């Protein structure tokens, strides 16, 4: 992926450019982008990505 830097003279100009960029993306790329943002937020807030907790229960059964 080629990275570029754009300089804007106002926030409105930047918002329009962002809107144009996201309209051009496919739905799959939008989902990937959302997942990236979500993971970054969770990592910055909690320090790591959440994992599933191990849950177990001991069940005593009657012997037949």
Convert the chain into a string of H (helix), E (strand) and C (coil).
CCCCCCCCCCHHHHHHHHHHHHHHCCHHHHHHHHHHHHHHHHHHHHCCCCCCCCCCCCCCCCCC
The verdict on residue 1 lying in a domain is: no
**pLDDT confidence band for 58 (50 / 70 / 90):** confident
The verdict on residue 21 lying in a domain is: yes
- Summarised one tens digit per residue, pLDDT across range 9-28 is 999 999 999 999 999 999 99
Q: Which domain holds residue 31?
A: 9-64
- How many Å apart are CA 4 and CA 63, to the nearest integer? 70
**Number of structural domains found in the chain:** 1
The verdict on residue 4 lying in a domain is: no
The verdict on residue 3 lying in a domain is: no
The verdict on residue 19 lying in a domain is: yes
For the question of whether the overall pTM of this predicted structure is more than 0.95, the answer is no
């Amino acid at each position: 992926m080629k990275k570029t830097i754009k300089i804007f003279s106002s926030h409105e100009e930047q918002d329009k450019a962002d809107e144009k960029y996201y309209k051009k993306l496919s739905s799959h790329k939008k989902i990937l982008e959302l997942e990236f943002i979500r993971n970054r937020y969770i990592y910055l807030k909690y320090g790591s990505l959440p994992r599933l907790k191990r849950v177990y229960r001991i069940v005593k059964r009657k012997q037949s």
